[in-house]
Amino acid sequence: MKKGRVYLISGGKAAGKTTSIKELIQLLRQKQVSVGGIYSEGFWEKGFRSYYEIVDVEKNERSLLCSRENNVSSSGKGNFLFQPDAIKLGNKILLRQRGQYDLIAIDEVGLLETKKLLWHDSLQNLLACGQNMIWAVRDDFVEKVTRFFMIEDAVVFSLEDYPPGSICDVIVKNIQMNL
């Protein structure tokens, strides 16, 4: 069975992980690496993240993922109320894109996935089929996430040390070596 490589972009809270993932996707595409997946873009109000939208990398379609406001159709996880339909959509996107791209991006992977929520099932499926992936993970969750998903050889790029261009070069080289 093909074994995919998992790359992690790590950084602190609000350190620019999503911005870096978005830039990295564009750089990889310029180098002829096909990229799918999802990212969660946060929006600020009065100094706080007030909501997140999930974005389909392939189609650039957006949907409200979670917000701080009460909504009876949502399920609460931490400080945010998640939209069940958006969670289903994110998982559907990830499974639909499995094997279709050189690399699948997932922003963000964290504690909820280690509690078998959000993208957990899709991540397990993608790992089992050997999909190359890049995950955005907060610095303080890297060890827990890699241990939980039993990823022994993850390539971790700290945003403090690696700009997107350098990350792109490493990924392109690795993907080309494994063709």
- The yes-or-no verdict on residue 179 having pLDDT over 70 is no
The 10 Å Cβ neighbour count of residue 2 is: 9
pLDDT (average), residues 15-26: 96
Q: What tens digit of pLDDT does each residue of 21-33 get?
A: 999 999 999 999 9
Give yes or no for a contact between 101 and 35, defined as CB atoms under 8 angstroms apart: yes
Top pLDDT among 80 and 119 is at 119
- Cα separation, 156 vs 68, whole angstroms: 31
- What's the whole-model pTM score? 0.92
Q: What's the confidence (pLDDT) of residue 178?
A: 77
**Strand-pair category, 155-158 with 48-56:** unpaired
> In sequence order, what DSSP letters do the residues of 73-95 get, joined into one string?
T-EEETTEEE-HHHHHHHHHHHH
Per-residue pLDDT of 136-168, as tens digits, reads 999 999 999 999 999 999 999 999 999 999 999
Residue whose token pair is 């159709």: 73
Residue 74, pLDDT score: 46
CATH topology of domain 6-177: Rossmann fold (3.40.50)
CA distances from 179 to 4, 96, 156, 173 (A): 12, 22, 22, 10
The answer to whether the bond into 58 is cis (omega within 30° of 0) is no
9: which 2 tokens? 């972009």
